[in-house]
Structure 1
Amino acid sequence: MSKSWTPYARHILDAIAKIIRIQERGTLEDEVLYAASLRHLQTLSEATQKLPESLKKEYPAIPWREISGFRNILVHNYLGDIDPLTIQGVIDLHLGPLAQAVQALLDQHPDPASTSHPS
């Protein structure tokens, strides 16, 4: 691996934490909260593409390909076909297991080149 994957993993965890904080402020029926959630889902979806396939294989229950592909759906959703209920379902069903898997990857595969500076 020529480039460290750990900043992307931490970015995923940060995006998930932000989505959780958004959820604490209200429902996705609020268009501002909905838009903020979509942005962070897009960010984390894109960051999953930077994780090594060899590590993702350690967590086959995580739908890595679908998460990565979800970014394209979010970015190219010009007609607004994605509704808040669908997004809420994605958040409820997938973010917890994704966060656990990414944290486990960080714990099990420390990056010696990475420094632990707070972001």
Structure 2
Amino acid sequence: MRSDRERLLDILEAIDKIGQRTSRDIDAFADDEMQQVWVIHHLQIVGEAAYGLTQRFKADHQQVPWDQIIGMRHVLVHGYFEIDLDIVWAVIEKDLPPLKGAIEAILRQSEG
């Protein structure tokens, strides 16, 4: 079983991979199916890693919207034909940067 720390590192790695392959604007993203598949796959990894965190860890770090992250993963995995690219793009632009910052802060706290 992976530790909470390992799962946090999985989240950071997936966020970094999304950043490496993401277009500068939604139009380019919407026109590139391979990029969409890449991003959606790594968002699923973010959600799966969050889902695997212990309940105690999630309770200790309520500043992170774990339920929303996990809920997004469920939509991406089980509702593939209902995926709204505008929402995915909004997650990339607005949600991932603060999530990355929060995860990095949690990891720093655990090291100190």
Counterpart in 1 of 2:51?
49
Measured on the aligned residues, the alpha-carbon RMSD in Å equals 2.0
Which secondary structure state, in structure 2, belongs to the residue aligned with residue 28 of structure 1?
helix
* Structure whose alpha-carbon radius of gyration is higher: 1
Counterpart in 2 of 1:116?
none
Find out whether 1:10 has 2:9 as its counterpart.
yes
Whether the 8 Å CA contact 2:7–2:49 is kept in 1: the answer is yes
- Taking structure 1 as the reference length, what is the TM-score of the superposition? 0.78
Structure 2: gaps spanning 5 or more residues: none
- Taking structure 2 as the reference length, what is the TM-score of the superposition? 0.83
For the residues of structure 2 that align with 1:74 and 1:46, how far apart are their CA atoms? 11
Whether the 8 Å CA contact 1:59–1:101 is kept in 2: the answer is no
For the residues of structure 2 that align with 1:38 and 1:61, how far apart are their CA atoms? 24
Aligned length: 108
For the residues of structure 1 that align with 2:46 and 2:20, how far apart are their CA atoms? 15
For the residues of structure 2 that align with 1:28 and 1:77, how far apart are their CA atoms? 20
Could you tell me the percent identity over the aligned residues? 34
Which secondary structure state, in structure 2, belongs to the residue aligned with residue 62 of structure 1?
coil
Structure 1: gaps spanning 5 or more residues: 111-119
Q: Measured at CA, do residues 39 and 3 of structure 1 come closer, stay the same or move farther in structure 2, by a change above 3 Å?
A: closer
Counterpart in 1 of 2:33?
31
